[in-house]
Structure 1
Amino acid sequence: MAVALSRLGAFAHRHRLPVIVVWLVLLVGGGAGAATLAGETSSSFSIPGQESTTALERIGEEFGARGEGATARVVVAAPDGETLTTPENAGAVSALVAELGGLPGVVSATNPLDPAAPSVNQQQDTAYSTVTYAAAPGEVTPEQQDALLAALDDARDTGFTVEASGEATQQAPHVGGPTEVIGVVVALVVLAVTYGSLAVAGMNLLTAIVGVGIGVLGVTIATGFIDLSSTTPTLAAMLGLAVGIDYALFIVTRYRQELRAGSDVGTAIATAVGTAGSAVVTAGLTVVIALAGLFVVGIPFLTQMGVAAALTVVIAVLVALTLVPAVLSYLGHRALPRRQRDAAKAATVGDGVPTGGRGFLAGWARTVTHQRVLSLLLTIAALGVISIPFFSMQTTLVQTPGEDSTQARAQELLAEGFGAGFNGPITILFDGDDAAGAAAAASTSITELDDVELVPPPVPNADGSAALLTVIPQSGPTDPGTEQLVADLRTQLADLAGVQASVTGQTAVSVDVARSLDEALPVYLALVVGLALVLLVLVFRSLLVPLVGVLGFLLTIGASLGATVAVFQWGWLADAVNLDTTGPLISLTPILVIGILFGLAMDYQIFLVSRMHEAHSSGANPMDAIRTGFRQAAPVVVAAALIMFSVFAGFVPAGEATIKSIAFALATGIVFDAFVVRMVLVPAALALLGDKAWWLPRWLSWLPALDVEGAALEKAAPAHGRHREPVGAPS
């Protein structure tokens, strides 16, 4: 692989202008395609084939628009001391309903004071209108949402308190806010300090932006042809930008080392792509395995997220292997700080890459390997303590709105007027002969269940073949009591004669998705860990080194999710991350964090340990190999981790609940993995293992060697001959 990649790097060097033009054409073409072909994204999450999802589809068939369109609840509260039923207030409510019914995209708006179907509380001071849109959940446009909010502002002028909640009011996450820009700026500063050159740092960042831009634009184009979650483009952008910057960093760093060792520009590019590029391909492959492996969960929207992010990572790898070398070809020796250029041009091939034996990181490596037992025990103990909150983690798909949002105020009004469970109603669909009679009979026994507050009369469809029964819990939609009520209802309704009863609604969908994700998590973890172990065994030709890396990752995951639970569920340091409300984590968080962090953790394992393996293969004893490899690779890993942290942390304060917890878990996971597991646990464990770390059983000696360190290039060097660049070449 190293030889093939070195030839690719040499090709990019010789044909630098066409390579750059091709990437720019792809970027411009992607922008044009996104502007003309993009469709709407969806913020709804469901699993085809589950009871709750199937029942929702049948409701759409049996009850028409009632079950198909997205809905919003417009809550109206009378001024203090008044009721909504006075003639003047009732007229104002009717006028509001008429205005709501005429809004863009709205199919119908119910009148809460209609005697046939009232939706007003017993005190008659709080009521709600159900506004139904033609668009499906998650597909209400921003313009339609703005029109609804404008109608609320008009209604407030009458003295009413008017707020709105529901799926039709949920806004899609955005990409490119000010906090994300701050993260990118911090990444640029880290690059500038690492390189000692603002121009090279800018080049690194720009090539990464080209890659992530093409990836996100491709995802945007796909929304015009398939139904994608609104989280998908944001996730692809967050991950693509982080790995794009890091992968370019690894190539550029090796290129600069080769220049300082006396290689000419062309040879330095070929060697950098053949060596660091091999590690980039291997690292990118682990990320792709982890993301594409989400298909085993069997949830389409999660598979789409994983595939979209994986394709963005593939583009980042291709950019690092082709566009970055092409740009480096134009920079030549200008990729080095000015004070190093003359020395690099005068250096003789064979002088070796300067590594330095002193400095903070060299001292760090000596301390960790000398105090290996203490370092190992302290690392495990510290991460273990941080992992404790993980064991009380709760998940849900019900997003808690921001504290100062109209959705939060609407839910508060409903809870005060109707009870906490009114914000998470459970719907039961009865299908069969005399469905309405069966629903009425079942309602009597349902009211006796724990956590049931109210069971209104059933609503039959036009021909009486189906009926809907609404159950209002006593507890809120994210309360464990409501989840238990869904299970109790299914148990009680399992054996009805002549009628099929299905428990559904957004609360039941959330419970089903959370349960499916929890059940799929061990299978998914086993798959990605197993595949990555095989890959790492091929890279390092060792059993214990991959095992140490994977066990360290498990500590990373525990600490990352533990810290996330402590902040987002328990409320610790909530103000530090601009958290409005606390509650269960979004159901997607654990499995996505595990998938993404696993790939990134293996990146650091490969980049750090491959240099140790290279030194050991060259004849160094185990302790010297660890310290030499650490000294060479640790500065790059530190810079890469700081960049990853900056990019992910930039998505934390933005305010979207779905992305916020995922970004926080990734940012903290990067800190734990790079600076604790890879910089302390791994070198300490390898020092403790000694020569045994590189042991491979004889019966596995037939395995192919991936040659991440580029040993094949050293063997081929005499044949190819390192030469000086001809006159007129970029320098």
Structure 2
Amino acid sequence: MSVLLYRLGRFAYGKPWYVIGGWLAVLAAVVALLVTNPVRLSNEVRIDGTPSQQVIDDLAGSLPEASGGQGMLLFKTRDGTRIDAGQGRSALLAAVDAVYRHDHVIDARKVLAAEAAQGRSSLLLRAQAAVAQASGTPSAGSAPVPLRSGGQPVPGVIVSADGSTALLQFQFDRQTYELPSGTIDSTIGAAERKAAPGGLEVLPSASMLEIPEIAGVGEVVGVTVAALVLLVTLGSVVAAGLPLVIALVGVTVGVGGAFTLSTVFEIHSLAAVLALMLGLAVGIDYALFIVNRERRLILDEGLDAHEATGRAVGTAGSAVFFAGTTVVIALAGLLVIGITLLSTMAVVAAATVAIAVLLALTLLPALLGLVKERICPARIRRAAQRHASAAHRGRATRWAARLVRHRYAALTAAILIPAVLAVPAAGMKLGLPSGASYNPDTGQRRSYELTSDAYGPGYNGPLLVVVGSTVNGRSLSPATLAAVAADLRGVRNAASVSLAGTNRTGTTAILTLIPAGGPNDDATKDLVTAVRDKSARMNTAYGVTVGITGFTALAIDVSDRLADVLPLYVATVLGLSLLILLLVFRSLMVPVTATVGFLLTIGATFGLTTAVFQWGWLQNLIGLDATAPVVSLLPVIITGVLYGLAMDYQMFLVTSMREAHVHGADALDATVTGFARASSVVLAAATIMVSVFAGFVFNAQPMIKQAGFALAAGILIDAFVIRMTLIPATMALAGEKAWWIPAWLDRLLPDLDVEGDRLAQRIPLPRPTAVRPPAPAQQTETTG
């Protein structure tokens, strides 16, 4: 591997425009496809095979007009006057009319008119009256009244008891992720223009959220911090700029390529953001490892830039290749779960990481071929000759020596810190984001709070109960629907039940069940469970099928499904990655300790995420002031991503220790020497990753915010507590046993030569040139 990559690095350096031209052609193709094909991203959390999703799919066949995406707008008077009187009423009616006339919005008024023409309106009204009577009196504080115009109720509009707000509930003709780009924003805009003359404020619900901002101010700040870290680490603007170029090209090709396929495959917005986060982080880190190695070969060994580039790609590039492989394997493990949403995320993110590795091994040496000797300016060489790097080497050596000397104390601390941080994870609750999860200054958050105050928290997460006749062709009678509604109203934590509509044959009806609690309350989850438990009895008693769906039902099903598949996923990823680590390090203990350290990392990560988002600790630092459950998708996604990234640092740090051991150092000296060589670049790489991920914490979308926080916290813990404290202490404690492997297994394993020994044997280091003498004796920097 090292010899092959060495030749690849020398070729790219010597023929830079061949490589650069190839990548420019790829970029041009991606940009051309993006220009000619509109990007379509989804916010839908769909998991096939779950009960709630099955209800939605069945509804698409029996009542298509009710299977589209739901929208909800809250109208509020700014001066506290009644919204159903005077100028406010006129503006409200005009805004409702504008929404119903908008493209892709189903006009409920026309639906009622069509039913009247077919003679079904009286039957529907009788059924609605019967259901209303069976439902009983709504609980106190949640007794809205319909808005009337011309003596008739305006479909979908209810006014709060105090008259200060009105709620418009409507449906699109497609699921929200299938709507043309800008449809939701233009719908809100149409309502705002008509509501403004009456002094009304329009607030969208969380279901009216357009695709979130992929990259904003926070992300730019994160990349800026990464650039500063590169500048400090490498000491040159040119050298610091190369990793940034590699990362930007990588995310352009990876994420842009995914966007070009969005018209063919459904791509969730979180998949794009995850690929962007990973692409930026690993693109910068992998390029940093190779550039840093090249510069050390120039400064320490006196090599010219061409030879140093080839050897850097052959040695550090080998570590980059296998580190990237572990990340790809961890992400590809999501495919075994069999959930389309996670599979799409895995493929997009894994492809972006693979592209970052390919760029680091090809485009980076080509760019170095353009930079040539300027990668190490004269002032850098002079500083090296004055032992400028000795200060860091001394600090790193002293730290490693302390870890070796006090290995029991270091090991205990490195285990206790993440173990204590993991305690909150025992109480972690999973769910999907609601309006309460958004930042306080967003319309979704204000809409959620005003709706809760004026109508009750249940209106933020209404449940849909689909009632179907078990006899083909037999319509559901008003009496039957009333009996079903009475049973539903009698379930604990149910606030009200109303008839939303029926299909043309009357064989399928939709009841709106308003919970007494909010979407993520335990009481609401208990309500969903109770309705499902009661459905079998209602089937026998009334001859109907009863299915329940909606935000809370979907959240329950998603959480249960992901909890079931998580053990399989973790076992698959750990098994495959342990095999790779065994091949790379040729040791039994190193893969095991690496995995145990990761389990401590993931426990602490979920503990911190639970404490911040669910318990509310230190939320002011990230612009939140309300608690929310941990997003259901997060445990699976973060487990895979963090495992891959954690193994990056394991690879670069322990490979350096193994190189020192292979070259004759005893186990303790190899631990100290290897740590001193690799720690600076691992420190810089971890700081860069934390900076990039932390930038996404300030994204308004709750799922992105939580993912950014969890990844930043996980890298912080893994790099500094596990890889740079626990692993050296463990290696020192094990001594020579750390590198033990049964002789029969050693013979079976292929020699991957990650340390570059075969390269050094086949192509010995050339003598230092007179133009660029070596720096005074220092130990050679290893991979990274």
Distance 1:72 1:335 in 2: 56
Q: Which residue number in structure 2 is paired with residue 302 of structure 1?
A: 342
| Aligned with 2:710 (options 654, 657, 665) | 665
8 Å CA contact 1:436–1:458 kept in 2: the answer is no
Distance 1:123 1:725 in 2: 87
Q: Which residue number in structure 2 is paired with residue 100 of structure 1?
A: 99
3-state SS, counterpart of residue 230 of structure 2 = helix
- Change beyond 3 A, Cα 1:267–1:83: closer
Pairing 1:575-614 to 2, within 5 Å after superposition = 575-579=620-624, 581-614=626-659
| Aligned with 1:455 (options 490, 497, 505) | 497
- Change beyond 3 A, Cα 1:289–1:343: same
* Paired amino acid for 2:34: A
- More displaced stretch, 519-528 vs 84-93: 84-93
Distance 2:155 2:220 in 1: 50
> How much does 1:428 deviate?
1.6
Q: Which residue number in structure 2 is paired with residue 350 of structure 1?
A: none
Q: Which residue number in structure 1 is paired with residue 719 of structure 2?
A: 674
8 Å CA contact 1:423–1:477 kept in 2: the answer is yes
Pairing 1:39-118 to 2, within 5 Å after superposition = 39-68=39-68, 70-77=69-76, 91-108=90-107, 112-113=147-148, 114-115=152-153
Is the counterpart of residue 120 in structure 1 residue 158 in structure 2? yes
3-state SS, counterpart of residue 120 of structure 1 = strand
Q: Which residue number in structure 1 is paired with residue 140 of structure 2?
A: none
> How much does 1:685 deviate?
0.8
> How much does 1:356 deviate?
8.1
- Change beyond 3 A, Cα 1:288–1:46: same
Q: Which residue number in structure 2 is paired with residue 237 of structure 1?
A: 276
- Change beyond 3 A, Cα 1:129–1:680: same
Q: Which residue number in structure 1 is paired with residue 513 of structure 2?
A: 471
* C-alpha RMSD over aligned residues: 2.6
3-state SS, counterpart of residue 403 of structure 1 = coil
Pairing 1:97-176 to 2, within 5 Å after superposition = 97-108=96-107, 112-113=147-148, 114-115=152-153, 119-120=157-158, 123=161, 125=163, 126-140=165-179, 141-142=181-182, 144-152=184-192, 154-167=194-207, 169-176=208-215
Pairing 1:7-406 to 2, within 5 Å after superposition = 7-68=7-68, 70-77=69-76, 91-108=90-107, 112-113=147-148, 114-115=152-153, 119-120=157-158, 123=161, 125=163, 126-140=165-179, 141-142=181-182, 144-152=184-192, 154-167=194-207, 169-260=208-299, 261-341=301-381, 358-399=393-434, 400-406=437-443
Distance 1:130 1:60 in 2: 19
Q: Which residue number in structure 2 is paired with residue 541 of structure 1?
A: 586
- Change beyond 3 A, Cα 1:458–1:31: closer
Is the counterpart of residue 717 in structure 1 residue 759 in structure 2? no
Distance 1:622 1:295 in 2: 39
- Change beyond 3 A, Cα 1:355–1:326: farther
- More displaced stretch, 147-156 vs 196-205: 147-156
Distance 1:654 1:440 in 2: 46
8 Å CA contact 1:232–1:305 kept in 2: the answer is yes
Distance 2:201 2:654 in 1: 62
- Change beyond 3 A, Cα 1:700–1:95: same
* Paired amino acid for 2:754: V
3-state SS, counterpart of residue 212 of structure 2 = coil
Q: Which residue number in structure 2 is paired with residue 521 of structure 1?
A: 566
Distance 1:45 1:357 in 2: 48
Distance 2:298 2:80 in 1: 81
Distance 1:327 1:85 in 2: 67
Identity fraction in percent = 41
Pairing 1:487-506 to 2, within 5 Å after superposition = 487-495=529-537, 496-497=539-540, 498-506=543-551
> How much does 1:455 deviate?
1.7
Structure 2 residue ranges without an equivalent (≥5): 110-145, 772-784
Post-superposition CA distance 1:326-373 (Å, at most 9, x none): 1112222321242354899x9xxxxxxx98895211111011111000
> How much does 1:515 deviate?
1.5
8 Å CA contact 2:94–2:195 kept in 1: the answer is no
Q: Which residue number in structure 1 is paired with residue 666 of structure 2?
A: 621
- Change beyond 3 A, Cα 1:691–1:723: closer
Q: Which residue number in structure 2 is paired with residue 351 of structure 1?
A: none
Name the TM-score, length of structure 2 as normaliser: 0.87
- Change beyond 3 A, Cα 1:249–1:460: same
Q: Which residue number in structure 1 is paired with residue 698 of structure 2?
A: 653
> How much does 1:637 deviate?
0.3
- Change beyond 3 A, Cα 1:427–1:147: closer
> How much does 1:476 deviate?
0.4
Structure 1 residue ranges without an equivalent (≥5): 347-353
- Change beyond 3 A, Cα 1:231–1:357: closer
